[in-house]
Amino acid sequence: MTRSTTYITASQLLSLKRRPNIAIVDVRDDERSCDGHIAGSLHFASDTFLDKLPSLVQSVKGKDTLVFHCALSQVRGPKCARRLAEYLSDEMQDDAGIKNIMVLERGYNGWEASGRPVCRCTDVFCKDNSEHGQQSNQS
């Protein structure tokens, strides 16, 4: 079964992100620790993404929708989303339960610039705890 990737807007993601079947996958490299991240996201850096695909699939058990992003979602985010789709097809991972692979339009930079909530914790698996999360400030 070949999966295709689609795009989702920040507004659409914001309305869906609290659903238990969605995982947000941040594939930025070092900038995640400096710039913050979307609260509740998982971090699987693009520079080691292929090596960590099995770990990603394990980490998202029970999720049927994965939303990938990088800084702008122009190169790394879409590329990693395609790599996951190929991996699931090549490795016969149909039992993984992943039905939708999406890419966040405008990436993290667009998310933060529009005032959406970001987190500054340093956890690989952000738990979106209220003490870590904070609203982005617009100037």
121 is catalytic: no
Rama region for 68: left / alpha / beta (φ>0; ψ in -120 to 50; rest)? beta
Catalytic residue among 70, 80, 119, 126: 70
> DSSP of 54-111, one letter per residue?
HHHHHHTTT--EEEEE-SSSSSHHHHHHHHHHHHHHHTT-GGG---EEEEETTHHHHH
Chain-centre distance of CA 126, in angstroms? 11
Which residues are annotated as catalytic?
70
